[in-house]
Structure 1
Amino acid sequence: MSLSIITARVRVFWESLSTSYWFIPVLMMLGSVALCYTCLSVIERAFLPDFLQPLIPRVTPENVQQLLSTVAGAMITFTSIAFSMTLVALTLASNQFGPRLIRNFMNDKSTQAVLGIMVSTFLFCLLSLHHLSSIAENQDAISLLAGFTVFFAIVDCVTIVYFIHHVSRSIQADQVIANCFNAFCNSIDSLLPKPESDSAHKAVNESWTNTQESFPLVLHARCSGYVQTINYASFMAMSAVKVSGSEIHVRSGDHVVKDAKLITLYCKQPFEADAFSDLHNAVVLGSERTPIQDPEFAVSQLVEIALRALSPGINDPHTAITCIDKLTAACVLICQRDFPADTLVHNSTEVWLKRRTFTFEGIVDTAFSQIRQMAGSHTKVQVHLLNSLATLQSHCNALAVNTIMQHANSIYANSQTNTLCGSDRHAIDEAMLPFRRQHDV
């Protein structure tokens, strides 16, 4: 397995770790164990600087035991409260915004750190109590344990206050939407890098590929799942003696079933599928979509929030309008980006790669299609959609204008099927004026 494939799999594994509630707390617990050991056997109070010694006064073993017991009991209580608040927040997020938004909450490093601090403090107190009798004669170690315990207790008190504020803020609709948008902005460079910045590759037209004299070999999916990452470098690095090029029929975010057509290799002589079995590792499949190579992932999250807000059960058009604003801002950010080319060729070996890629028009469709379909009975949302599309149109090139125009015409056609008062009809017509001027031009 090549280094690039291993790197791609490590990225997927790291993505799963970053959205877990156990990884950071476990690291912090290990740190508390190391600190406890250091206090017991390495650091002596007498070795501390003079300005720190007044902060760590000498105490008796009985007082330390009582202090450790009190802090340990309080911390396990605080930890249970924190876990309960977290589960309540996850439940509210699942019901209000959609189950796929839970990933964003689990990726919250503040929550993970708070849980880690509390569990680490409890573990520090527990280990200290266990070894207290063995260091009864070591006054310096006992004083250090007492000082660190008081310090951790103060930090935990501040932490629980911050956590209550953080949780109450994180479940607000505007904050959830802002977090999704910020996550998209922070990952634009990795989602849409310049694909041909590598001097070894260049983009070519699809007609450049030649498959007439090749021996096609189809590789099928070994299992079902979502495409999480594709290591394109593995296909570009194939030997020109064996293949003239390859075609990847899936892209990140697609769902494939077992035995589905995954890759077609155009070999220069007949080969068995076993000769290229390692290429299966270049396409990583998993049980869920990830944002690693999928620019539509964060867009889909914002769309899901808007759709739930427009549902009859929730009926919150203001949240939907906020989502539309963020979706428009996201599309404006990427409208001038260079999207990956459909076909690449290696400059030295002339091994080519044909693939399915993301396009700006496809992201616009993902962002606005379902929302405009759900907004049929919300005139204010339709007007806001038209105004947002007009703003987006002013930033886009000529190729994307047609896609935006189609969405505007569809919204206007949907509005004509509703019974509207004169003011609402006038608002729709006013919002359509920029598109009519564009059409006249």
Structure 2
Amino acid sequence: MKHHPTLFILRSQFWYIPAIYGVISILFACLSIWGDRYISSQFLPNFFYVDLALAQTLLSTITSSLLTMTTISFSTIMVVLTTYLSQFSPRTMQDFMTDVYTQRILGVFIGGFLYALVLLLLIRDTKQELLFFSPTLAVIYAIVCVGYFVFFVHHVGRWIQVSNLIHHITRNTIESIHHNYDDAIEEVPDEPWKDWESEEVKLVDPLHIHSKQAGYLLVIELEELIEQASQDDLIVKIEVGLGDFLEGGMVLLSIWGKTSHLDTALYERYFHVGEERATIQDIDFGLTKLVEISLRALSPGINDPNTAISGIRALARILTVLAKKNLHRSYYNDSHQALRVIVQQRHFKDYLYKCYYQIRRPGTEDVSVLAAIIDSLQLVAAQNNKQIKQTIWEFSRYIEEGIKKEDMLDLDRVYLNEKLQKLAIQTDQSQNYHPM
């Protein structure tokens, strides 16, 4: 089922789910009072009723208890965010804040507090001396909140572990890759317009559409953009990339065709901008988080190479999936095979370089990290075609160039040579392998 990008952006806001729970709880409180007034007095025996004074005492106790739970939860969240900021990466705070379980737990606490508070306000004016629905449901809600509080402690304990954070980022990035890229095929069919139509376009000055918003480009509704261009009989080139920061007045699109009466707002609506980057379509952002976690782990102040190795392995998992996708598709046709949208795409070697070029320099100071980089390249090569193997082998030469061979001990050199030999075998380059 396809979800609208606006729903994804709204869903990522920290207040979204707690606000929904709060509104539902207020409505539920009103419904409970209605049930006490018009239902319980007719169908229930006296054994189930609670007098008004006891109901007020229960609701008052529940209200203060849930407010305390909510306060503790917010304090715990701040501790987690401080840990992320100081030890992992500022970008990773978003993952915990937008986690569905974190938002639901806070939603339950806030909803329970509002439910009990509204009931206290409403039963004040009731003329009934006995109540059933309001106090009973409030007690049940309080028991549920206690269970959620225990779960929240467990949840925070898991999220503060860097291994769980790395797994979460990796899973979300891989899901985004599967959602936004088609699988690669061995033989890409020839695009008959590519030889002449793209050259013909360059002879005509395009109409430029400028961004009216400032922020990070989160989502491009490509299918809707193709359909709109087909209706207007236009060719559209996207001049910006996902994750780019747009300033007001920056060129967003170039359009060729009959543009004299074109409504540019129809095209601008397919570009969604936010204050922070997100991995809805932006694959680079997920890779950036993992790279930053690895770099922070290799810093002298933290010095945790095992965390860096975990981050490198996660990068390899993402690159393995990415290498199997059709990353080179830059031209999109409509149902009549007419060119409609041109997109600037990155190649696999660009992603490969982005993942390792920052880690390479501090990584060469630690043999275990350097070995993990070579192993990760071997993992990517093992599950992909000859072209990817060739690209990885050429990139491994770049990694090897940065190694300070003259400062390396004999055992370390033997260990790394074994790794490089396995990589050469995996990439079908045994004849080109030369030990360090």
For residues 398 and 377 of structure 2, what CA distance do their matches in structure 1 show? 12
Q: Per the alignment, do residues 385 and 418 of structure 1 end up closer, same or farther by CA in structure 2, a change over 3 Å counting?
A: farther
- Cα offset for 1:24? 1.0
TM-score normalised by L of structure 2: 0.86
SS at match of 1:207: coil
Which among 217, 230, 248 is matched to residue 220 of structure 2? Answer: 230
Q: Is the 8 A contact 1:345 1:352 kept in 2?
A: yes
1:45 corresponding residue in structure 2: 40
Partner of 1:247: 237
Q: Residue 273 and residue 157 in structure 1: after superposition, are their counterparts in 2 closer, same or farther (change >3 A)?
A: same
Query: 1:427 — aligned with what?
Result: 415
In the alignment, the residues of structure 2 paired with residue 205 and residue 426 of structure 1 have an alpha-carbon distance, to the nearest angstrom, of 53
Q: 1:297 to 1:75 in 2, by over 3 A?
A: same
Q: Note if 1:174 corresponds to 2:163.
A: yes
Instruction: Specify the code of the residue in structure 1 equivalent to 2:354.
Output: T
Q: CA contact under 8 A between 1:310 and 1:317: conserved in structure 2?
A: yes
Q: What is the aligned partner in structure 2 of residue 3 from structure 1? A: none
Structure 1, 232-241 or 404-413: larger mean CA deviation: 232-241
Gap change, CA 1:218 and 1:74, over 3 Å in 2: same
Gaps of 5+ in 2: 432-436
Q: Quick one: distance in 1 between partners of 2:404 and 2:166?
A: 31
Aligned-partner Cα distance in 2 for 1:413–1:276 = 50
- Residue deviations 1:48-102, cap 9 Å, x none? 7x8xx89x83222111111111111111111111111111111111111111111
- Answering whether residue 319 of structure 2 is matched by residue 331 of structure 1, we say yes
Q: Matched residue of 2:216: which SS? A: strand
Is residue 98–residue 304 contact of structure 1 (8 Å, CA) maintained in 2?
Answer: yes
Do residues 342 (structure 1) and 333 (structure 2) align? no
2:347 is the counterpart of 1:359: yes
- Regions of 4+ moved over 6 Å: 239-242
Give distance in 2, aligned partners of 1:202 and 1:233: 21
Residue 412 and residue 128 in structure 1: after superposition, are their counterparts in 2 closer, same or farther (change >3 A)?
Answer: same
How far off is 1:414 after superposition?
1.7
Indicate the SS of the match to 2:77.
helix
Unaligned runs of 5+ in 1: 1-6
1:107 maps to which residue? 98
Deviation of 1:165 (Å): 1.6
Of 126, 134, 143, the match for 2:132: 143
C-alpha spacing 1:418/1:300, structure 2 compared with 1 (3 Å): farther
Separation (CA, whole Å) in 2 of partners of 1:440 and 1:18: 50
Q: Is the 8 A contact 2:230 2:334 kept in 1?
A: no
Greater CA drift, 426-435 or 234-243: 234-243
Structure 2 counterpart SS, 1:163 = helix
Alignment check: 8 A CA contact 1:236 1:351 kept:
no
Contact 1:244 1:350 (C-alpha < 8 Å) held by counterparts: no
1:192 equivalent in structure 2: 181
Shift of 1:434: 2.8
**1:25 and 2:18 are equivalent in the alignment:** yes
Match of 1:130 in 2: 121
Describe the superposition over 1:203-236 as per-residue Cα deviations: whole angstroms up to 9, x where unpaired. Answer: 5674342443752214153354332222334553
The range that moved more, 324-333 or 247-256, is 247-256
User: Is the partner of 1:284 in helix, strand or coil?
Assistant: strand
Aligned to 1:83: 74
TM-score normalised by length of structure 1? 0.85
Matched residues in 1 for 2:415 and 2:369: separation? 11
Between 1 and 2, higher relative CO (CA 8 Å, sep ≥ 6) is seen in 1
Q: How many residues align?
A: 421
- 8 Å CA contact 2:17, 2:103 repeated in 1: yes
Asked if the contact 2:176/2:281 (under 8 Å) is kept, the reply is no
For the residue of structure 1 that corresponds to 2:364, the secondary structure is helix
Say if 1:217 and 1:273, in contact at 8 Å, map to a contact too. no
Q: CA distance change for structure 1 residues 110 and 59 in 2, over 3 Å: closer, same or farther? A: same
